[in-house]
């Protein structure tokens, strides 16, 4: 399925989330034969998964609906199907569960383009990654919510500037911190830049992105997780019973950003030279 998505130019995360949505919506009686056609939508049917990948790419059959994403698909189906459409701002949620590393809750909720796991990459902390110059709660606890709003904001700044520099964000998994990246930039271009200044550039970019989002109608009301991840705990596994404390996490996140009502405030814009 992964190989087929790659060859067809489909995002694997959004495609798999849309197909999972279809399976569950069918289980709940919301997708009947008129939509499913001859597809067997019993959970996990491998032939159906591959068929739906092809349908999504071709814009045919049920794939025509799923190819619009789970938000649009749920809007078309109705019947409470939005409860099974896990997305933020229309972007499907990846498989880095914010109930396993709660900083990802803030990352998903506030992502400029929605629920992108690469907006902050804070889940790397679960493997012991400590990046010099970026906040990490001490002691670190992947299930605790305290400090996770600040953590998400600071790591977002670093990840955002890596986009601008043109460096793969996965270097953060190999303990490459802002100081190391700034030394590469200095060596390559002769710029006098250090780690804090690099992160500051990322903060400036992220705030500018938020301003663009605001112009397009995004508000703090859009900075939310779907109920499945915010209110339904995992029943088993190493993160059983864990839920992110969203009020605490979001209050801390906005305070770290210096935002008021979810938006960059004039003092922050002045501070960043964006006035």
Total number of residues shown for the chain:
275
Residue 264, beta-bridge partner list? 259
Percentage of the chain with pLDDT > 70?
Answer: 100
- Judged against a pLDDT cut of 90, whether residue 148 lies above it is answered with yes
- Quote the mean pLDDT of the chain: 96
- Judged against a pLDDT cut of 90, whether residue 149 lies above it is answered with yes
- Judged against a pLDDT cut of 90, whether residue 173 lies above it is answered with no
**Neighbour tally for 40: CB within 10 Å:** 10
pTM attached to this predicted model: 0.94
pLDDT tens for 248-270 read 999 999 999 999 999 999 999 99
Average pLDDT over residues 19-30: 96
- Judged against a pLDDT cut of 90, whether residue 24 lies above it is answered with yes
- Residue 226 has a pLDDT of 95
Strands 259-260 and 263-264: antiparallel
Q: In angstroms, what CA-CA distances link 42 with 21, 33, 60? A: 12, 13, 20
Instruction: Report how far residue 199's alpha carbon sits from residue 179's, in angstroms, rounded to the nearest whole number.
Output: 9
- Judged against a pLDDT cut of 90, whether residue 109 lies above it is answered with yes
Residues of 146-183 as b/e, b for ≥16 C-beta within 10 angstroms? Answer: ebbbbbbbbbbbbbbbbeeeeeebeebeeebbbebbbe
Instruction: Report how far residue 177's alpha carbon sits from residue 129's, in angstroms, rounded to the nearest whole number.
Output: 10
Per-residue pLDDT band at 275 (split at 50, 70, 90): confident
């Amino acid at each position: 399925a992964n190989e087929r998505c790659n060859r067809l130019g489909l995002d694997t995360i959004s495609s798999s989330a849309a197909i999972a949505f279809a399976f569950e919506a069918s289980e709940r009686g919301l997708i009947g034969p008129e939509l499913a056609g001859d597809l067997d939508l019993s959970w996990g049917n491998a032939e159906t998964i591959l068929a739906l990948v092809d349908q999504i790419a071709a814009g045919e059959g049920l794939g025509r609906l799923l190819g619009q994403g789970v938000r649009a698909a749920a809007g078309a189906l109705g019947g409470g199907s939005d409860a099974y459409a896990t997305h933020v701002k229309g972007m499907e949620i990846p498989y880095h569960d914010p109930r396993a590393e709660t900083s990802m809750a803030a990352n998903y909720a506030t992502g400029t383009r929605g629920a992108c796991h690469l907006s902050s990459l804070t889940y790397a902390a679960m493997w012991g990654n400590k990046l010099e110059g970026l906040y990490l709660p001490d002691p670190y606890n992947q299930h605790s919510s305290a400090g996770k709003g600040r953590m998400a904001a600071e790591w977002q700044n670093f990840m955002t500037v890596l986009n601008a520099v043109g460096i793969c964000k996965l270097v953060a998994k190999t303990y490459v911190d802002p100081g190391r990246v700034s030394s590469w930039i200095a060596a390559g271009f002769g710029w006098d830049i250090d780690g804090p200044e690099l992160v500051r550039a990322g903060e400036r970019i992220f705030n500018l992105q938020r301003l663009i989002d605001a112009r397009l109608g995004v508000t703090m009301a859009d900075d939310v997780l779907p109920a499945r991840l915010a209110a339904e705990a995992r029943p088993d596994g190493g993160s059983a019973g864990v839920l992110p404390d969203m009020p605490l996490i979001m209050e801390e996140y906005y305070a770290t950003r210096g935002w008021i009502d979810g938006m960059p405030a004039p003092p922050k814009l002045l501070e960043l030279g964006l006035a």
